[in-house]
Amino acid sequence: MTQQRVLKLHNSLSGKKEIFQPIVPGHIGMYVCGPTVYSDVHLGNCRTFASFDVIYRYLLHIGYKVRYVRNITDVGHLTDDGEDRMAKGAKVAQLEPMEVAQHYTVGFHDMMRIFNTLPPSIEPRATGHIPEQIDMVQDIMDRGYAYERNGSVYFNVIKFNQEHPGVYGQLSGRVIDELMAESRDGLKNQEEKNHPADFAIWMKARPQDIMVWKSPWSVGFPGWHLECSAMSTKYLGQTFDIHGGGNDLKFPHHENEVAQSNGACGCSPANYWLHTNMLLLNGKKMSKSDGNTINPPQLFTGESEHISKSYSPMAVRFFMLQAHYRSTLDITDDGLQAAEKGFKKLMDAYNTLQKLPVDARDFDGSETEHDRAILALIEDAYQGMDDDFNTAIALACLSELGGYVNKLANKQLASGDVAPWVIERLKTVYHTFVFDIFGLKDEESKEDSGTVEGLMELILDLRANARAQKDWVASDKIRDVLAEVGIQVKDGKEGVSWEKN
Ligand code: AMP
Ligand code: ZN
């Protein structure tokens, strides 16, 4: 699609829906806070990244050139005890922090592939941008919004608030007095600060810190909030179009990003702030500590007390699409079962539609009520997406369109009831929504399983040849490698067979 549509986005800055105006017509810069790679990505993270994936896909579909930056946080995100999450993970496992980061980054990428999310245009790592962060600390100090104490540098929230009334607190909607009341940067040496609300942008290393760099102030490390300010500025400019993340990041992370950018260059980082809502499990916040949690592999295998069976990645993605990204989403076994059925229905309608004959001779040329209804539903699906990316509405429209497909297939509607060009348009739109915008995949695709069958035939032929030549090493290796990828080879009386574990 080349023509761009009018988009309305809910901007957390104003708390309202606004008509989207890009800074440069036709182009969008979008930054989304990525994962902190100190543990396996959880389902809540996946919801947020899947939501921004659909947003990215839709922006591309309606013709924007999008630079999508999603970072990897591998330093500076402290625990409540003031310890770096990466370093803590590394100490526990007796690994280098970068080994921990690499391990969980690979796991994160695997999970993003399983959920069929598109890779971002740039995926910068915090540890790869220490000079940019040091420069930004210096810029903030030069403009008078940060001060040094014993080798650490603190953002001066009080001064910033006096000179920019109404800015600090606007994004998270918090009352400034509340924000000023306590410290939230996880540091123990609070007495160094002018005020508890000030936050560290550079921290002097303590003896236990192992991820450290030289800076003009001390050997230390950057504050967590700084990485996103420095990397978004580097790749998208001082002010860019869209900044996203989960709504638990509004405060302090995003609020501090706004302060840092204003402090460094006098400008707001993003024009539109988009926040996803949280994923719940059985009506309660997912939490590892009280056992109310489920991770993606458990969903795929069914090994969890919270579910009665396994669910495929696309059934879970469909489940997520059924809710608007700003609504909370409650994972329940019933909800997943309904989503599994809904996903199957959608794919069945898609497959039926592709096979529908389009016979121009049946049509007398005049527009029918069914033509109008189908075209209106297609426009409603688009308008749902234009209205702050409302996937719930778009999915409902597709489901209604599926009803027309079934009526045409079982001849409740004659082929002359719908104009050939309307059927062609329906085919294109269905394909576009299901695969390009919603990012779903046909998990039972004949093409895929046909390819696997063909490959397995070839591999088992090679193994049979090896065995015929008594090359047991090669034959065992083929069996073992297949086992590693989850395919079990069985040598039975009737020959060789295989199955997926
Ligand atoms: P983290 O790795 O904790 O920095 O989080 C990565 C992203 O996942 C952030 O945008 C978080 O806001 C988001 N996130 C964390 N928990 C949840 C949840 N339960 N539901 C939805 N998004 C979440
Ligand atoms: Zn961030």
Tell me, using a 6 A CB cutoff, whether residue 44 lines ligand 1: yes
**Probe target for ligand 1 pocket from 108, 248, 275, with the most ligand atoms within 8 Å of CB:** 248
CA 48 to ligand 1 centroid distance, Å: 6
> How many beta carbons lie within 10 A of that of residue 98, not counting itself?
16
The confidence score (pLDDT) of residue 209 equals 86
Tell me, using a 6 A CB cutoff, whether residue 22 lines ligand 1: no
Which residue is associated with the tokens 């009080």?
158
* 404 touches 423 (CB < 8 A): no
CA 35 to ligand 2 centroid distance, Å: 9
pLDDT tens per residue, range 232-274? 999 999 999 999 999 999 999 999 999 999 999 999 999 999 9
Say which amino acid occupies 414. Answer: A
CA 329 to ligand 2 centroid distance, Å: 22
pLDDT tens per residue, range 305-364? 999 999 999 999 999 999 999 999 999 999 999 999 999 999 999 999 999 987 777 777
Name residues whose C-beta falls within 8 Å of residue 277's C-beta, 6 or more positions apart in sequence. 246, 247, 325, 326, 327, 328, 329
Confidence of residue 183 (pLDDT cuts 50, 70, 90): low
Q: Which residues surround ligand 2, an ion (CB under 5 A)?
A: 33, 228
Confidence of residue 446 (pLDDT cuts 50, 70, 90): low
CA 310 to ligand 2 centroid distance, Å: 33
- Report DSSP letters for 385-407, one per residue: HHBT--HHHHHHHHHHHHHHHHH
Q: How far apart are CA 186 and CA 483, in angstroms?
A: 46
Token pair for 151 = 């080798």
Which residue is associated with the tokens 């040849």?
465
Tell me, using a 6 A CB cutoff, whether residue 278 lines ligand 1: yes
CA 229 to ligand 2 centroid distance, Å: 8
Tell me, using a 6 A CB cutoff, whether residue 105 lines ligand 1: no
79-86 long-range contacts (CB < 8 A, ≥24 apart) are: 79/186, 80/186, 81/186, 82/186, 82/187, 82/188, 83/208, 84/209, 84/211, 84/221, 85/36, 85/38, 86/36, 86/37, 86/38, 86/211
**21-35, 200-214, 325-339, 388-402: which range is least confident on average?**
200-214
Of ligand 1's atoms, which has the minimum distance to the CA of residue 249?
12
CA 45 to ligand 1 centroid distance, Å: 4
The whole-angstrom distance between residue 92's C-alpha and the CA centroid of its chain comes to 28
Which residue is associated with the tokens 């625990």?
79
CA 254 to ligand 2 centroid distance, Å: 7
Confidence of residue 422 (pLDDT cuts 50, 70, 90): very high
Q: Which ligand is nearest to the CA of 330?
A: 1
Token pair for 220 = 């230390």
Q: Which residue's CA is minimally distant from atom 6 of ligand 1?
A: 35
Q: Which ligand is nearest to the CA of 105?
A: 1
Q: Which residue's CA is minimally distant from atom 9 of ligand 1?
A: 246
Confidence of residue 1 (pLDDT cuts 50, 70, 90): low
DSSP structural state of residue 239 = S
**Probe target for ligand 1 pocket from 40, 48, 73, with the most ligand atoms within 8 Å of CB:** 48
Tell me, using a 6 A CB cutoff, whether residue 245 lines ligand 1: yes
Q: How far apart are CA 158 and CA 72, in angstroms?
A: 30
Token pair for 8 = 């309305």
Confidence of residue 187 (pLDDT cuts 50, 70, 90): low
Q: Which ligand is nearest to the CA of 51?
A: 1
Backbone dihedral angles phi then psi of residue 305, each to the nearest 5 degrees: -65, -15
Which string of b and e fits 217-238 if b means at least 16 CB within 10 Å?
bbebbbbbbbbbbbbbbbbbee
Confidence of residue 147 (pLDDT cuts 50, 70, 90): very high
Judged against a pLDDT cut of 70, whether residue 288 lies above it is answered with no
Q: How far apart are CA 184 and CA 177, in angstroms?
A: 14
The whole-angstrom distance between residue 159's C-alpha and the CA centroid of its chain comes to 36
Judged against a pLDDT cut of 70, whether residue 132 lies above it is answered with yes
Q: Which residues pair with 307 in a beta bridge?
A: none
The confidence score (pLDDT) of residue 470 equals 81
Q: Which ligand is nearest to the CA of 36?
A: 1
Q: What is the 3-state secondary structure (H, E, C) of 444-469?
A: CCHHHHHHHHHHHHHHHHHHHHHHHC
Q: How far apart are CA 263 and CA 155, in angstroms?
A: 9
Q: Which ligand is nearest to the CA of 275?
A: 1
Of ligand 1's atoms, which has the minimum distance to the CA of residue 246?
12
The confidence score (pLDDT) of residue 286 equals 77
